[in-house]
């Protein structure tokens, strides 16, 4: 069995070790050492990465009781190598893991809920609890957890006897047998865990609970700790500064400024719609009795294309077709004729102009992937009155 140096000292970043075995497995190499600083995936904590001599350590897993380091190149058996972990990654994982214990312990103590699912992602940590927490309660938990962080409590690791364990109110996801490792964060959490933790809670730095949402019978909480809080703060701060400059609003009042902008936009949209309707009515008036009519527009929404067609078809006494060119060069269209039956016509048009769409016998709407010339060519046989902005 490989000597697990990380259990003796979690701050050990490197060691020398002897390569006991090394073999090829699929497209990579697997090495077992006499001792290691590399933590294999376990207890919800991801594996360490780093280097073994010249080889990159890609993953580390426990397999048949051995700690197997998966490498990008082979190592000579019997040779001594230097093992070095990616400390930044490890310390980040220790911060997240200890923070997660503290949150779970406090939620358990305060609300009696169990942590029933836990995932340490590369962005956020998620914890699933088997009970409901409100945003307000989440805020209380966050305050309590951070107080415990700043009290800089010692994190104690113990291996109690079976008798001691019977009276110990520790958290555990499953029934455990054999030697049990207990992680004790005084007045905060007591939990059976094989993962690696900071030795003082102050090293967690800060715990930020990002969100809570209903999940199965309880809730899922998203959280980050330590350096991830700083990165998050930087990202959000940069975003907010940009919004603040764009809206000439104080950084603490950007939400109110966005709300005002949204309301303005909503009102303007209403004005645009009523102006558009007046323009369409005028156009319909001017095309009274014009017969078959082909109208060119640019950038109109489907709804406006429909409204314009509807207005003109009631006055022109023929077929009315509106084509509005879109940014990608395609055209949105609507074709209508009061009391008409356009089904065959639309079918032929869609075929000729690579279009899609349909509707009622007297009215159809869709789009075509054709040029203005091709559309004009198709409509030439109807000899329509041609009007609109793109004559």
**Segment near Zn ion (CB under 5 A); pick from 191-199, 275-283, 319-327, 363-371:** 191-199
- Considering only 193, 212, 221, 342, the residue that binds Zn ion (CB under 5 A) is 193
The upper half-sphere exposure of residue 26, i.e. CA atoms within 13 Å in the direction of its Cβ, equals 2
Q: Is 195 in the site for Zn ion (CB under 5 A)?
A: yes
Q: Is 190 in the site for Zn ion (CB under 5 A)?
A: no
Which residue's CB is nearer to Zn ion, number 120 or number 322?
120
Q: Is 138 in the site for Zn ion (CB under 5 A)?
A: no
User: Using CB under 5 A, which residues numbered 26 to 55 contact Zn ion?
Assistant: 43
Rounded least distance, CB 193 to Zn ion, Å: 3
Rounded least distance, CB 367 to Zn ion, Å: 56
Rounded Cα distance between 127 and 320, Å, is: 60
Beta carbons within 8 Å of 330's beta carbon, 6+ residues apart:
367, 368, 369
Rounded Cα distance between 300 and 308, Å, is: 10
Rounded least distance, CB 29 to Zn ion, Å: 30
Which residue's CB is nearer to Zn ion, number 43 or number 131?
43
Rounded Cα distance between 380 and 353, Å, is: 14
Query: How far lies 89's CA from each of 7, 125, 302, 325, in Å?
Result: 17, 14, 51, 52
Which residue's CB is nearer to Zn ion, number 194 or number 382?
194
Site string for Zn ion, 340-369 (x = CB under 5 A): ------------------------------
Which residue's CB is nearer to Zn ion, number 198 or number 342?
198
In what helix (H) or strand (E) does residue 107 lie, and over which residues does it extend? Answer: helix 87-111
Which residue's structure tokens are 């940009």?
A: 242
Rounded Cα distance between 52 and 76, Å, is: 11
Tell me which residues touch Zn ion (CB under 5 A). Answer: 43, 193, 195
């Amino acid at each position: 069995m490989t000597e697990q140096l990380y259990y003796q000292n979690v701050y050990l970043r490197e060691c020398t070790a002897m390569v006991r075995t090394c073999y090829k497995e699929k497209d990579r190499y697997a090495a077992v050492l006499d001792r290691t600083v590399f933590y294999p995936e376990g207890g919800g904590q991801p594996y360490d990465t780093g280097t073994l001599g010249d080889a990159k350590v890609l993953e580390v897993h426990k397999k048949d009781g051995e700690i197997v380091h998966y490498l990008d190149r082979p190592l000579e058996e019997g040779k001594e190598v230097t093992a070095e972990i990616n400390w930044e990654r490890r310390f980040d994982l220790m911060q997240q893991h200890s923070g997660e214990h503290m949150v779970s312990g406090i939620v358990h103590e305060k609300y009696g809920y169990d942590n029933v699912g836990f995932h340490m992602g590369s962005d956020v940590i998620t914890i699933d609890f088997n009970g409901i927490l409100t945003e307000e309660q989440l805020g209380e938990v966050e305050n309590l957890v951070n107080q415990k962080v700043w009290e800089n409590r010692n994190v104690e690791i113990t291996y109690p006897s079976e008798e001691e364990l019977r009276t110990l109110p520790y958290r555990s996801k499953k029934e455990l047998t054999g030697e049990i490792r207990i992680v004790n964060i005084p007045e905060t959490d007591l939990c059976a865990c094989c993962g690696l933790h900071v030795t003082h809670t102050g090293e967690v730095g800060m715990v930020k609970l990002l969100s809570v949402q209903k999940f199965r019978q309880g809730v899922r909480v998203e959280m980050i700790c330590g350096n991830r809080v700083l990165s998050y703060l930087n990202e959000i701060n940069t975003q907010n500064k940009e919004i603040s400059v764009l809206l000439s609003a104080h950084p603490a009042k950007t939400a109110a400024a966005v709300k005002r902008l949204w309301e303005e936009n909503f009102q303007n949209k209403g004005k645009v719609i009523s102006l558009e309707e007046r323009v369409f009515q005028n156009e319909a008036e001017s095309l009274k009795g014009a017969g078959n009519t082909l109208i060119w527009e640019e950038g109109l929404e489907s709804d406006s294309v429909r409204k314009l067609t509807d207005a003109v078809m009631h006055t022109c006494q023929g077929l009315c077709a509106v084509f509005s060119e879109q940014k990608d060069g395609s055209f949105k269209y609507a074709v209508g004729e009061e009391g008409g039956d356009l089904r065959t016509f639309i079918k032929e048009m869609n075929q000729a102009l690579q279009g899609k769409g349909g509707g009622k016998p007297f009215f159809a709407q869709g789009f075509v992937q054709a040029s203005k010339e091709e559309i004009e060519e198709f409509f030439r046989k109807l000899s329509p009155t041609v009007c609109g902005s793109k004559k």
